[in-house]
Amino acid sequence: MLPLWQGILARPVKKPRLALERSSAPETFSASEAEQAAPFETVKAQQEAQGLSMYAPFTSEEEWEMAEFIVESGMSHNDINRMLNTKLFARCRASAPQDYRAIRSRKALLRTLDSLPGPRSQWKVIEITVTGNRRDAKGRLMRQVLYCWGRNPVDAIADLIGNPEFKDDMHYAPVEEFSDEVLAELEDADVGAATRARILSDFVNTDWWPRVQRLVAEHWPGATIAPVILCSDKTQLSVFSGDKMAWPVYLTIGNIDKDVRRKPSRRAVVLLGYLPVTKLECFHEADRPLQGYRLFHYVMRQLLSPLVEAGKTGVMMPCADGYVRHVFPILAAYVADFPEQCLVCCTKENRCPTCLVRQDQRGELLNSCYRDPEATLAALHNPASEQLAEAGLRDIPDPFWVDLPYANIFNCIVPDLLHQLHKGVFMSHLVQWIAKGHEDELDARFQRVPPYPGLRIFSQGISTISQWTGNEFRQMEKVFVGLIDGLHADTRVVAAARAMLDFIYLAHYPSHTASTLQQMRDALERFHANKAVFQDLGIREHFNIPKLHWLLHYISSIIDFGSCDGLSTEVPERLHIDFAKSAYRASNRKDYVRQMVTWLTRREKVRWFQGFLRWCGMVQNHADESETDNADDNWEEDDDTDVLDPDGETRWDTLALDALADTSSLDYDLDSPAPSTALAQDDPCALATYMSKTIDTSLERTGSTTDGRTGWDNQEDLDTEDSDMIVGPYKIARKPSLGVISGATIATALGVIDFAPALAAFLAGDGFAGPQPSEHSLLQHSYPVFKQFSRVLPSLRGYAREVFANRIFARPAINGLPPRYSTVLYVEKPDIAETIGVKGTSSARDSYHSSSHLNWNLGYRIGHVRLIFTLPPDLQRRRPHATDTFSHLAYLELYTPFSSSPERPVGLYKVAKSYSGMKRKAVIVPLTRIFRSCHLLPVCGQMIDRSWSSETVVDECDVMYLNSFSDHHMYLFVE
């Protein structure tokens, strides 16, 4: 196989997971050329040469830990003095004076912190004198002196690319990735290139990097590209008074995996500088906006000037893997909201910053030409020309990006999920259009949404909310399509909403293929095909909305830079807390930027030194720290406890098993702690994990992690080899959290009326040995009863990091807590489910999306879990696999089987309660046949029944929709 970039790349990157990598062979380096002491190695060598401790300039580990705590806790100077003057600290110094020499006082502590080694990039201040057009009392032109605090971007990039903590998360050359199934197919000589499903997820496997690599390699063979990602966002500092603002500029590089860039605790995004915030009162009021735009570009040009020469000739940089590379930092992406996008691109806000679409055509599905940097500069240099007005440009003669090599600023603009999709198109437009004239009814529907883990219940509706965050927008999106069905007589309203929600959910995929990009295009076309309904209803006059228009550019941006989650404005929104708001609160509000820089420098040095100590093996690494980062990293994302990243971020489909805690963000808390002996038995430390074979045979089988024994297991060795297991592992308490309850009590007090006949039917079909027990005798037995279990499901597309964790409840009302019984998807027909469902990348699933009428729903059915239990030992031992660890069972009340296709135009599957005579149909199934929980929404009709409540709607409503938008895992599985 021929390499992709023969003779161009310096060294190949490591082979990615589930991917095909094609790159050149490594160039030959001499030891002196290829290796250079990293900053950590230099510091360690200096300390060893001087005979110092690894904790120097601190004299001991204890003293370093004390300083580390003081800095990270954000203590004020007065609090530091109080702590250092306590008798406890005095005893510490008296007992071991040799260990506390650097922290004799607050000033001594600060001097020691300032002497710590740190990043290469140092702060500088740029003084800018602005001469306005207003005159003072003496007739002189007024002047204003401004200050920009910043750092050398080349040094900041060197710090990032050379940080050993990113060694396993760093890439130095582009690759092509394919799904694991396609990799297997590539081994077959009969499989053509047209069948390959290329994965687009991050800079390393998309189109921008190899395109720029070719251009640079024409003059500098062996060059390594550092895709520079910039972000700027003005933010408010003072809450109640003062009108203080900061304008941070952040920088990171596309060489680092996006999953690392997104985690604030990993510090892969650095603060590059603070732009001056001023009202420019030296100018007349009418001139201030334009002069403000020009000032922004002038300051950014000063700040980024080192990138010009570095991008042309490159810089030799030590890298995280110990090699020195010829690195070319090239501006690749600029993350900003819409007003700042227009500011960066010199365009007016009634025009697209990316393309040349006319102002009155932004609401149409048109493919307009992208802006050309050279034509744009020609128009800017001739402000009197017609081209300036026709292109919708502002008179900014010297944009900051004009000299940056290989940079196309108009192509650098990337999708903004928060402001464009959630806050913009969805909340500011779609919700407002659909709710107009139906506000009370829509509030009533939101109030009656059934509870679900990670889903907020708007108990007062949505019209009363005055302050919105990105989390509220996402919570609404999870239920919006199902709730608006029947709200308007014209079905095009629902069709348009369904199309836009499809686009939003597809845009959140962490990786894409040509198939998912085509689905995004189809969804956008469906919206535009139905949007005229809002004009027909008199709600809209036009659709010339900038945020709606920019959705046309999502696909091309994904092809160039990867999925949208890697370049989200939500990252800087979270970084504002550390780099702006917390720093400002630590100042005395006078000359606050200087104090903020000092405060941040000390914290940065402490964190750099923490990385050094981790590298030395003196403290735990990031993998061990992740559990403590949750509070720090839980920034404005989905409050979705089913989809939490181990580092605390809400991820698309990722959750560590240990994070299965129900902290759903509800207006009322369904699971607030209450003292209970029954609840106390459900000790999280006493959990058993039961493993089972997954349907996706491409994943490795894993064995049981425990012996599975409880008080009801009498066997020393439990056999799991010959069992009939259907879906993935589950985790459940070792002890029955609701106690041991008789069958008669289960049937009466817990309301499981048909428990005995359902259990008898299950035992009869399970191969029960000996005479079948009567229904009466089954009621006399006592059964261990559990209130919940959890399961981690594999990725539906075969990607290791896209796993999904799910919790299923069967809890009666206890200690003032409302009852909570989950609805679930269970495997009714394993033979069909194995060939159609679960395998998100299987050929069967692909054929379903193309032409086949085989649906995933043929193998699955919805049930309402009413009881989770195990059999008593005398019954369990008579089952065919008596010693199985996965002997837990669930009692399900059934819903009707799925129809062959979803309801139109809502696109959701409708189900109804299944009855036999006047009784609900019920079955008992092993937990290994329960695939996952699911969320049901009531079919509201024109007006929802006001007698329903959120807690009772599932019991009182007979006809429901399966909500495929409840989470991304369910969306991908169903859609």
Per-residue confidence (pLDDT) for residue 441, from 0 to 100: 96
User: What is the Cα–Cα distance from 165 to 115, expressed in whole angstroms?
Assistant: 22
Q: What percent of the chain is predicted at pLDDT more than 90?
A: 60
Whole-number Å distance between alpha carbons of 456 and 771: 50
Which tens digits make up the pLDDT trace of 9-32?
A: 333 333 233 333 333 333 323 223
Cα-to-chain-centroid distance, residue 174: 24
Condensed to tens digits (0 to 9), the pLDDT of residues 147-200 reads 999 999 999 999 999 999 999 999 999 998 876 544 444 444 344 444 568 899
Listed in sequence order, the DSSP H helices in 466-591 are: 470-484, 492-507, 514-530, 532-536, 546-550, 554-561, 570-576, 582-585
575 pLDDT exceeds 70?
yes
Average pLDDT over residues 771-791: 93
Q: Are 471 and 636 in contact (CB under 8 A)?
A: yes
Say which amino acid occupies 131: T
At 12 the pLDDT is 30
Residue 585 has pLDDT above 80, yes or no: yes
Sign of CA dihedral 748, 751, 753, 754: negative
pLDDT, tens only, 663-673? 333 333 333 33
pLDDT (0 to 100) of residue 879 = 83
- The pLDDT tens digits for 541-560 are 999 999 999 999 999 999 99
Model confidence at 39, pLDDT cuts 50, 70, 90, reads: confident
pLDDT at 148: 96
5 token code pair: 């970039």
β partners of residue 650: 644
In which residue are the tokens 């309904």 written?
533
pLDDT > 70 in the chain, percent: 79
Note the pLDDT tens digit of each residue in 594-641: 999 999 999 999 999 999 999 888 776 544 444 334 333 332 333 333
Cβ atoms of 112 and 70 closer than 8 Å = no
Taking alpha carbons only, the member of 44, 310, 322 closest to residue 162 is 322
pTM of the model: 0.84
Q: Which of 86-100, 128-142, 218-232, 258-272 has the lowest mean pLDDT?
A: 86-100
For residue 675, whether the previous peptide bond is cis, meaning omega lies within 30 degrees of 0, is no
Instruction: Reply yes or no on whether the pLDDT at 505 is more than 50.
Output: yes
Local confidence band at 797 (pLDDT 50, 70, 90 cut-offs) = low
pLDDT, position 876: 87
| Residue 252 tokens, joined | 């990171």
Neighbours of 813 (CB within 10 A): 10
Write down the pLDDT at residue 235. 92
Above 60 in pLDDT, residue 900? yes
Phi, psi dihedral angles at 132 (to 5 degrees): -90, -165
Q: What is the dihedral of CA 901, 907, 909, 912, to 10 degrees?
A: -120
**Sign of the dihedral defined by the CA atoms of residues 431, 435, 440, 445, in that order:** negative
DSSP 828: S
- What's the rounded mean pLDDT across residues 757-785? 90
- Check residue 9 and give its pLDDT: 31
Tokens of 470: 């990105």
Separation between Cα atoms, residue 606 and residue 613, nearest integer Å = 10
Mean pLDDT confidence for 781-789: 95
Is pLDDT at 111 greater than 80 in this prediction?
A: yes
**446-473 average pLDDT score:** 90
The SS3 of residue 827 is strand
Could you tell me which residues are beta bridge partners of residue 810?
821
Report the distance separating Cα 221 and Cα 225, nearest Å. 11
How many H helices and E strands in the chain?
A: 38, 27
For residue 322, give the amino acid letter.
G
Q: Which amino acid is at 680?
A: A
Indicate if the pLDDT at residue 374 is higher than 90: yes
How far is Cα 861 from Cα 866, in angstroms, rounded to an integer? 16
Task: Specify the range with the lowest mean pLDDT, choosing from 151-165, 462-476, 491-505, 931-945.
Answer: 462-476
Report CA-CA distances (Å) from 39 to 119, 161, 252, 557, 613: 9, 12, 19, 36, 12
**Whole-number mean pLDDT of the chain?**
81
Which of 248, 252, 275 lies closest to 264 in space, CA to CA?
Answer: 252
> Mean per-residue pLDDT for 444-465?
92
Mean pLDDT (whole number) for 397-421: 96
Is it the case that residue 709 has pLDDT exceeding 80? no
The amino acid at 912 = A
User: How far, in whole angstroms, is CA 669 from its chain's centroid?
Assistant: 24
At residue 812, the pLDDT reads 93
Q: Which residue has the higher pLDDT, 414 or 689?
A: 414
The pLDDT of residue 348: 95
Where do runs of H (alpha helix) occur along 699-771?
A: 743-748, 755-765
Other beta carbons within 10 Å of 900: 11
pLDDT at position 37 is 64
Q: How many Å is the Cα radius of gyration of the chain?
A: 31
Q: What element of type H or E holds 68?
A: helix 61-73
In contact, 415 and 918? CB cutoff 8 Å: no
Could you give the CA distance from residue 494 to residue 534 in angstroms, rounded to a whole number? Answer: 11
Q: Is 343 helix (H, G, I), strand (E, B) or coil?
A: helix
The token pair at 717 is 């060795």
Contact status, residue 431 vs residue 490, Cβ threshold 8 Å = no
pLDDT of res. 843: 35
Q: What are phi and psi of 963, to 5 degrees?
A: -85, 100
Lowest mean pLDDT among 333-347, 442-456, 715-729, 750-764: 715-729
More confident call, 773 vs 880:
773
Residue 814's pLDDT band, with cuts at 50, 70 and 90, is confident
Q: Compute the 3-state secondary structure of the chain and give helix, strand, coil in percent, each to the nearest 5.
A: 40, 15, 45
Average pLDDT rounded to a whole number, residues 291-317: 97
Predicted pLDDT of residue 549: 96
